[in-house]
A and B are shown apart, each in its own frame.
Chain A
Amino acid sequence: MSEGQVKKIMYVNRKAPYGTIYALESLEVVLIAAAFDQDVSLVFMDDGVYQLKKGHQTKGIEVKNFQPTYRALDDYDVNKLYVEKEALEARGLTEEDMCVPVEVFSAAEIGKLMDEQDVLLSF
């Protein structure tokens, strides 16, 4: 990557938060990559929308609750968070259930955004 060139990088999150390590790993990569000043966006589709469901309480399963980290993303200038409309509806969730400000788009609209990216990283 040549110096000064800003790439559009999209992180695609499609898995529920604690059953697998994907959600946490994605967040770690986003935070590391945030240091490089790229045009970053995060997409939450399918079970990935559960990552942002307000009110995670993980004490009982003795796993780190990483939900507060999503609220810190804005401090790293990561503020393009897109959530799939159909995924929310299929899970009885609404935008108000999300722990951070997001934009809600249909799967097709998200597909259009994908088309515009230089790089997509899937989790």
Chain B
Amino acid sequence: MLHIVNKSPLERSTLDSCLAAAQPGAAVLLIEDGVYAATRGNAAESKLRAASARLEIYVLAPDLEARGMAQALAEGVKPVDYAGFVELVVQHKNCQSWL
């Protein structure tokens, strides 16, 4: 299944909630303020890297770019555009948004 996180990991605990529930092989897409988790030097970077061993981690590139963070994309995270976002939704059976 696909999990979507849209909050900064330093402002809210939604990323932690998502990672605690997500089953091996699931996809996690970071959008809006959630993209900060996928940037080098962010306090959440290490937990995201650890999670990437069992989960597919994606980030919405336009949201990274809008925040001036495109060059800071952490290793192991795959950037997608809006078409890629739609593709992820279509590929997976269901989807949970961690509002």
Contact = CB atoms under 8 A, between A and B. Distances in A.
Contacts of B99: 14, 22, 122-123
A46 B13 contact: yes
Given A46-B13, A114-B1, A108 B23 contact: yes
Interface string B13-29: 10001001111001000
B21 A107 contact: yes
A120 interface: yes
Interface in B50-99: 93-99
B96 A122 contact: yes
Nearest to A118: B94
A64 interface: no
A73 interface: no
Contacts of A119: 94
A120 B94 contact: yes
Contacts of A14: 17, 98-99
A114 B94 contact: yes
Q: For this complex, into which size category does the number of interface residues on chain B fall?
A: 10 to 19
A112 interface: yes
Interface string A74-110: 0000000000001000000000000000000001101
B94 A117 contact: yes
A115 B98 CA distance: 15
B23 A111 contact: yes
A111 B95 contact: no
Interface of B: 1, 13, 17, 20-23, 26, 93-99
The 3 closest A-B pairs by CB, nearest first: A111-B21, A107-B20, A122-B97
23 contacts: A12-B96, A14-B17, A22-B99, A45-B17, A45-B21, A108-B23, A110-B21, A111-B20, A111-B21, A111-B23, A111-B26, A112-B23, A114-B96, A115-B1, A115-B23, A115-B26, A118-B93, A119-B94, A120-B94, A120-B96, A122-B96, A122-B98, A122-B99
